[in-house]
Structure 1
Amino acid sequence: MTVKGLISTFTQQEDINFLLTNRIPRAAITRFMGWFSKIENPIVRDFSIACWRLFSDLDLSEAKKTEFRSLHDCFTRELKPGLRPFDPDPATVASPSDGIVGAFGRIADTELFQVKGAPYSLLDLLGDPQLVEQHRNGRFITLRLTSSMYHRFHAPHDARIERVTLIHGDTWNVNPIALKRVERLFCKNERAVIRSRLRTGEALTLVPVAAILVASIRLHFLDLTLNAQTRGPTVFPCDVEVRKGEELGWFEHGSTIIILAPGDFEFGGNVREGLRVRAGELLMRRPSRDAL
């Protein structure tokens, strides 16, 4: 077995994985990673990317650049043009990012799941009773981004972004092992609530959730980078029209996006837990073919 295979086998042991990624000073490690990843030194950069390859399935063949200034520059890489076309059907919600489908389904009144048998509430996630009412009995889907994936995320539908709320919190790992062991994990971690409306007036909300080693969430339309060091206001009113596929921002390292959609949307026939999707691929469709 190769060294990479031995490392993979070792870290797949649930107890070991949980200890290595959670029973450590998560906030301090995350701050350190945010600083370290931005060091623009060829030796540091090359060593870091080599280690990253050893621990993951990193593939840079789709990257627009062939050389990177730093590990951070590699994390937040752009792709070659045309590699993530977005489903053009106006009756669909596309995946905002590359990711692995986690829990999904109908929101039971105001309750949804991080994994089977592990519920959490919309109010705990969003912190806004008015927004909770707009998503009561709606649909949700969770996408997990691994460290090696393309880390930028895009508008899943034509919409108007009205507000972003930063909710400070922890940086638990968001992998399936942690989700089984830490109750209401998404509601404990640092996250941004990106509140938008479709042309019909219905709410479509994205919740990017930070995790260990994720130093920040960059939002282009606000020209802001949100993280644990963000001070001052945590609610950012805005009035921004976005088109499906438009780049909204990026994660550093990897994390999770929860999409909350209207209740009359249905999931695409291929959507299932564990499915790997790419930004732009179909997630949900309104039964009517009418444009929104």
Structure 2
Amino acid sequence: MSSSINSGVQKSAVQTLTKKEQINFLLTNRIPRRWLTFFIGWFSQIQSPLLARVSIWVWSLFAEDLRLQDAKKQHFSSLGECFTRELKDGLRPITESADIVTSPCDAIVGAHGEIRGSRVFQAKGFPYDISELIPDVYLQEKYQNGKFVTLRLKSSMYHRFHAPIACDVKNVSYISGDTWNVNPVALKRVEKLFCKNERAVIELHTDNTLGSITLVPVAAILVASMKFKFLSDTLSLKYKGPNVLPCDASFSKGDEMGYFQHGSTIILFATANYEFCKEIKEGRYIKMGQPLMGGHTHHF
């Protein structure tokens, strides 16, 4: 009898979850995404401590894991200032070993593994080709049969991203696009979603003999905006400049590179010599600076 009751409860929970997913998808995608993104971008920059407090309180009702006690500041003059908050010193220690690639951000680990030729997966059964995400033919060829990992930054998380390895950056390629939500619900319903959204491509030039790393930050609905510390322009839906922005920036591992103005995703590509550390599993929460991958000979 109890087995039957438990089975019924589990079935009801699955049905409820499915309904929640459907509502989530409708509310965050079947809307005027671009105009809502413009509105929230404007709203989040309004300088009003009172409005910021009210907005953050409303936000916390939907984001139970919002941890503002970790922030350097406890009071914010705008909602955007809260989104892009800095953390207290020492909260994200960096794994020092030079041949270990660390997570560039706080994130939930999504799809990851080997690239099958040039085919990458955003979710089970939803493949895309590297060429549809990255326009540079040189990079498309470099990461064939390599590795990839999708790192999702929830809206409640720390929004800044950092160098996963000591590197130089020579340019940033910007691709304008849509603002689909990038949560798991949307990834299971919208084919080639990452290839449709606004994004940037950043090749990291390193002295590491293991191979190459490239980051692809992907923006999303609401505040679809990326700010890089080494570029003067903010890359957003209003950006009208060149698609390739040259620069000359050097980073030690863990140095801040920039931030999203809302939760989004970073896809990290690596050449075939890298291996994921054994703790990397889909759904796991990883903090910036923790080990992500290293060479074949490295024991995690």
Residue 271 of structure 1, aligned match among 280, 288, 295: 280
- Asked whether the equivalents of residues 53 and 76 of structure 2 are also in contact (C-alpha less than 8 Å), the reply is no
Residue 53 of structure 1, aligned match among 52, 56, 60: 60
1:104 aligns with 2:115: no
Q: How many residues align?
A: 281
For residues 276 and 116 of structure 1, what CA distance do their matches in structure 2 show? 19
1:146 aligns with 2:154: yes
List aligned pairs for 1:129-208, cutoff 5 A.
129-200=137-208, 202-208=211-217
1:89 aligns with 2:101: no
**Deviations for 1:130-164, whole angstroms, at most 9, x for unmatched residues?**
11111111110000010100000000001111220
List aligned pairs for 1:250-289, cutoff 5 A.
250-288=259-297
Structure 1 unaligned blocks of 5 or more = 1-8
Partner AA of 1:162 in structure 2: K
For residues 164 and 183 of structure 1, what CA distance do their matches in structure 2 show? 25
1:10, CA displacement in angstroms? 8.4
Residue 213 of structure 1, aligned match among 208, 216, 222: 222
Moved over 6 A (4+): 9-12
Partner AA of 1:46 in structure 2: R
**Alignment-derived partner of residue 87 in structure 2:** 79
- Asked whether the equivalents of residues 157 and 244 of structure 1 are also in contact (C-alpha less than 8 Å), the reply is yes
- Asked whether the equivalents of residues 214 and 255 of structure 1 are also in contact (C-alpha less than 8 Å), the reply is no
For residues 132 and 27 of structure 1, what CA distance do their matches in structure 2 show? 29
Partner AA of 1:211 in structure 2: A
List aligned pairs for 1:25-40, cutoff 5 A.
25-40=32-47
For residues 274 and 19 of structure 2, what CA distance do their matches in structure 1 show? 36
1:288, CA displacement in angstroms? 3.5
1:17 aligns with 2:24: yes
* 1:200–1:277 distance in 2 versus 1, CA, 3 Å: closer
**Alignment-derived partner of residue 225 in structure 1:** 234
Structure 2 unaligned blocks of 5 or more = 1-15
Partner AA of 1:54 in structure 2: L
- Asked whether the equivalents of residues 165 and 234 of structure 1 are also in contact (C-alpha less than 8 Å), the reply is yes
1:204, CA displacement in angstroms? 1.2
Query: Which piece of structure 1 moves more, 96-105 or 66-75?
Result: 66-75
% identical equivalent positions: 53
1:15, CA displacement in angstroms? 1.2
1:215, CA displacement in angstroms? 3.1
Q: TM-score, normalization: structure 1?
A: 0.93
For residues 84 and 214 of structure 2, what CA distance do their matches in structure 1 show? 23
Partner AA of 1:217 in structure 2: M
For residues 46 and 241 of structure 1, what CA distance do their matches in structure 2 show? 37
* 1:196–1:213 distance in 2 versus 1, CA, 3 Å: same
* 1:159–1:110 distance in 2 versus 1, CA, 3 Å: same
- Asked whether the equivalents of residues 49 and 76 of structure 2 are also in contact (C-alpha less than 8 Å), the reply is no
For residues 19 and 216 of structure 2, what CA distance do their matches in structure 1 show? 27
Q: Which has the larger radius of gyration?
A: 2
- Asked whether the equivalents of residues 132 and 195 of structure 2 are also in contact (C-alpha less than 8 Å), the reply is yes
- Asked whether the equivalents of residues 10 and 16 of structure 1 are also in contact (C-alpha less than 8 Å), the reply is no
**Alignment-derived partner of residue 118 in structure 1:** 126
- Asked whether the equivalents of residues 100 and 294 of structure 2 are also in contact (C-alpha less than 8 Å), the reply is yes
Partner SS state of residue 54, structure 1: helix
1:224, CA displacement in angstroms? 2.7
**Alignment-derived partner of residue 5 in structure 1:** none
1:12, CA displacement in angstroms? 6.6
**Deviations for 1:182-217, whole angstroms, at most 9, x for unmatched residues?**
000000000011112221474311000000012310
**Deviations for 1:81-111, whole angstroms, at most 9, x for unmatched residues?**
0111111011111000000000000111111
For residues 90 and 107 of structure 2, what CA distance do their matches in structure 1 show? 18
Residue 42 of structure 1, aligned match among 49, 69, 72: 49
For residues 241 and 275 of structure 2, what CA distance do their matches in structure 1 show? 39
